[in-house]
Structure 1
């Protein structure tokens, strides 16, 4: 069962307008709250997006107008007049191009994020308005909503039925990397839902090989608000250089709409967050801020850059006092290592080395230099951004928690337990981990040869197991290693595939 998410706002609500009166805005309530939207032509829509510098809200912050024009440059069939109108829209002079696809990326594999789930669950018509505005400007009927959460998927399907709008809903696998644009396109195309490994621009070749406008759920909702308010009124909130509002997920359980340019401390005070030894901004591919940095931080691209942070996908995770900061960071790094697609060396070998170096640092046997070296090996060389994002998370932690690390290096511990306060997915029971039966292990070393990502040998030739879940892409190799262990000492605890991995 998905935990409930509290929703509030600082300043006037826009995306969350009507949430104080309705749990969910069906079509009638949506029209009563937001009104009937017009559908601007392509040139007008691009100009409006440029005027307010509308950026994607999925993490990368790419200018929406540039995405729109890149896709429009590929349109091959402009001109007819048979597009389905928005609710209340008058038909214009645009024509359908079946070669263009608009994709709402509702994947929210990041455990600390809930904003897209809230939007799709409570204001689905606002998101669909934005998608249909973009589709109308591009001259296409083809809209796909890709979503992970089951409740959000049901809400979107109900909204589509109300609008009688030919829109496809695709369920995605709930994984950290499932929201990457290439992974979303592959999932829609019926392929393995992992990043493609080679950079392919969706604007050139996306769904079914067609030019595809793919953007985050909130981005399309922001587009609908922009068209509803107009650029001038839209820019009345937020900063001069970065106007508008944004949705923030605080602590994984609370969504707050706030104007861009709001001090981070104002959001934390609004959510009654107690003083924290560090605040993670931007999620698990984001950056840690120490208390002085968090006190100076402003929720904008420029404001976050000044303190070494990032707005990213609007995820804010304050670390509670009383838990071991280094233990929490190691725990999340272990999760990220297990969530990789396993397509390249930086993920297969680099991320496990990061976890090993953090584990050694936590018990006092490692150094910060070891962590930096492990995190830097694969930077810029990955098949996707996962290694770079994980390195950013880890390296910023080394800076933010320098005091705690010094204590660990001196005594092997900081004296605090690791409570696991940073959010991770609820275990399903299907996760497995490698374990060694030490009463049988003779140090043959074959396991380290077969699965070096999870097992390495110490100086005496005995296996040292990485304490992380077995990635899906390694299940077959692990089962083979279990079956081939000469001493029958290798096994899997928990549940992955195959009887070979469970042999007593």
Structure 2
């Protein structure tokens, strides 16, 4: 997949079982319909009760990060639609009349929005095994008595692959392209994008099962979840459970180091995954992505790939993202890079994102310079927790606070020397700059310290004790572009401007 750089896909970890989702990858670059049928067989579509029973028996969970039980999500949608199979579904008290009156068709949405830079598994699945994902979507749609399937995807190459697969099987499904942003994969943002609205989280909890695409009950899960559903239907619960652990059967896809996608059974030691991918733990391993948790090398050596195993080690499986931090780069600098990116990726709908995340970045910058404290970082990260319009501020805080604990030794060196002596190589993946990213810059030969800019855009600029502006240094978020342009136009000294260059050190700081 050219859109994700060099991707190495293997059929499983050596000695831990054969491939399932990646079956056939060793022979074919892409499984068209004929190859897919030869490798995986013909589609079987069980009725709703049987599908729910199979998903419950193996405790099939979503692979998008939250790990929500698929059977519960399926039943929640079935309870709100009217068709012969759904009549046997469990209805919530008081919903019988509502359901029969509405007679709504469900919508099945494949969420393949991988806005997180460290993830590539869904792109690989859609690029190389699109029919396996579509099989799962069609199985779920058939059980719910609907033909409405939507595939939401960011990557253009993956979108082309899915369109070709839809054409091959003459399936009444459509593909919707999403903007490549970190928050694009949030379920509410996906639904809004499909509905033609601004593709950001809605700011309030709206269950897709109740009101999703076009206001209809919507079953929304990520691409790997639907591929797992297809494998489960093909193998049956008993054979499906022959891999993995008794509590967590099956396999999962991991993206290691941002470039290697590998399939591994649950219960596999994380150390075995890292060895297989030639990715040593280095200074620590981030698991679960940029809303995930850091493991120090010792914890990583003991961690087991499962929800329970990762939890015991202090980590999380999340969306299957594993990012080792190589030796030789500054850990605190890397964490600050990612926190700055996350701050710029917010939807800007609430205080915890608009003001809280920039404060976290400022606290990290001060810590890296030896001028701040860990307590300052904890305070900034904790202010908005649980109060955001979506999970973005909570996830960012979790990432930062975990890093503060994992890299305590490096932080202590910064505290006394203002640096750890290591450069920041940027080994944690971020999107490749397009050249259109804007940043605020100040012409210091003109600036007189009026302070109007800090009043107009306090998210990006604050005043030091002498009344001169201190710039945050992140990319200008989309939702702030108009405010920044206004600040530039209103600067009395004409000292404020927008630049595409990386900012220099602030001499007034």
TM norm. shorter chain > 0.5: yes
For 1:270-309, list aligned pairs within 5 A: 270-309=276-315
- 1:205 corresponds in structure 2 to 211
Partner of 2:455: 449
- CA drift of 1:99 comes to 2.0
Q: CA deviation at 1:4?
A: 2.9
Q: Does 1:438 align with 2:440?
A: no
Structure 1 Cα separation of the partners of residues 64 and 74 of structure 2: 16
Structure 1 residue 98: Cα displacement? 5.7
The one of 6, 15, 19 equivalent to 2:8 is 6
Of 76, 79, 84 in structure 1, the residue corresponding to residue 82 of structure 2 is 76
Instruction: Determine if the alignment matches structure 1 residue 180 to structure 2 residue 186.
Output: yes
Distance in 1 (CA, whole Å) between partners of 2:299 and 2:74 is 36
> C-alpha separation between the residues in 1 aligned to 2:326 and 2:376?
27
Partner residue, 1:416: 422
Question: In 2, Cα distance between the equivalents of 1:119 and 1:413?
Answer: 42
Deviations 1:235-293 (A, max 9, x none): 00001100000000000100010001111000001111234111000000000111111
Shift of 1:78: 3.2
Residues 367-446 of structure 1 correspond to what in structure 2 (within 5 A)? 367-446=373-452
Which residue is equivalent to 2:158?
152
Residue aligned with 1:285, SS: coil
The whole-number CA distance in structure 2 between the counterparts of 1:159 and 1:437 is: 54
1:234 and 2:240 are equivalent in the alignment = yes
Measure the CA separation in 2 of the matches of 1:38 and 1:217. 19
SS of the equivalent of 2:419 reads coil
- Tell me the alpha carbon deviations over residues 88-134 of structure 1, each in whole angstroms, 9 at most, x when there is no partner: xxxxxxxxx76210000010000000000000000000000000000
- Cα separation, 2, equivalents of 1:226 and 1:387: 35
1:265 equivalent in structure 2: 271
Task: Tell which deviates more after alignment, 251-260 or 270-279.
Answer: 270-279
TM-score, normalising length: structure 1: 0.94
Shift of 1:155: 0.3
Cα distance in 2, alignment partners of residues 30 and 98 from structure 1: 33
| Corresponding residue of 1:474 | 480
Q: 1-side partners of 2:390 and 2:488: how far apart? A: 30
Residues 85 and 143, structure 2, Cα contact 8 Å, conserved in 1: no
TM-score by length of 2: 0.93
Aligned residue in 2 for 1:218: 224
Task: Answer whether contact 1:153 1:171 (CA < 8 A) is retained.
Answer: yes
* 2: CA distance, partners of 1:18 / 1:416: 43
User: How do residues 156-167 of structure 1 correspond to structure 2 at under 5 angstroms?
Assistant: 156-167=162-173
How many residues of Structure 1 are paired with residues of Structure 2 in the alignment? 479
C-alpha distance in 2, partners of 1:100/1:270?
A: 42
CA RMSD of aligned residues (A): 1.1
User: Shift in Å at residue 76 of structure 1?
Assistant: 2.1
- What residue number does 2:504 align with? none
CA displacement at 1:467 relative to structure 2? 1.1
Tell me how far apart the structure 1 counterparts of residues 142 and 200 of structure 2 sit (CA, whole Å). 30
Q: Which position in structure 1 is the counterpart of 2:100?
A: none
Q: Distance in 2 between matches of 1:267 and 1:385?
A: 29
Alignment of 1:37-56 (within 5 A): 37-56=43-62
**In structure 1, distance between residues paired with 2:301 and 2:246:** 22
Task: Quote how far apart the aligned CAs of 1:37 are.
Answer: 2.4
Indicate the residue corresponding to 1:463 in structure 2.
469
Aligned to 2:336: 330
2:81–2:104: 8 Å Cα contact kept in structure 1? Answer: no
Answer whether contact 1:98 1:142 (CA < 8 A) is retained: no
Structure-2 separation of matches of 1:47 and 1:188? 30
Q: 2:249 aligns with which of 233, 243, 259?
A: 243
Q: Which residue of 2 aligns with 1:341?
A: 347
Give 1:312's aligned residue: 318
Task: Specify every segment of 5 or more residues in structure 1 that has no aligned partner in the other structure, as ranges.
Answer: 81-96, 496-504
Contact (CA 8 Å) 2:323, 2:428: kept in 1 or not? yes
- Find 2:36's aligned residue among 23, 30, 39: 30
Please list every run of at least 4 consecutive aligned residues from structure 1 whose deviation after the TM superposition is greater than 6 angstroms.
none
1:20-71 residue CA offsets vs partner (Å, 9 max, x unmatched): 0000000000000000121111000000000000000000000000000000
